[in-house]
Amino acid sequence: MSQFNEATGYNQEEAEFKRREAEALAALRSKLDAQRAELKASASRPANWMYCPKCGGQLAEQRRGEVVVDACGGCGGIFLDKGELELLLAHGKGTMLGRLFGH
């Protein structure tokens, strides 16, 4: 029998699960930030770095909540790095976006 916490509205197991999930997501967030910074600083980054694959426009980094996207100034396309979609979905659980992707 788990204790219900009046303050959080969750029982202890749920609270612990949510805490661990938040920690895992924060760890993924900082890993992705580090990878991005490393690639940005690297001389060996690809020639098409930060150019839109659809229209060739300049991409700009935008932080949208927990996710960093590359948004095209030309066509308005939004591009995600590896791992960013997973972050987006994890934070979108129970939302329309989450349901769209089967979460």
Interface contacts to Zn ion, rule CB under 5 A: 52, 54-55, 57, 72, 74-75, 77
Give me the phi and psi of 72, to 5 degrees please. Answer: -85, 130
Q: Minimum Å distance from CB 68 to Zn ion?
A: 17
Write down the least CB distance from residue 78 to Zn ion, Å: 10
Q: Which is nearer to Zn ion, 17 or 74 (CB)?
A: 74
Q: How far is the CB of 58 from Zn ion (least distance, A)?
A: 9
**CB-nearer residue toward Zn ion: 50 or 68:** 50
- Is the Cβ of residue 77 or residue 83 nearer to Zn ion in the bound state? 77
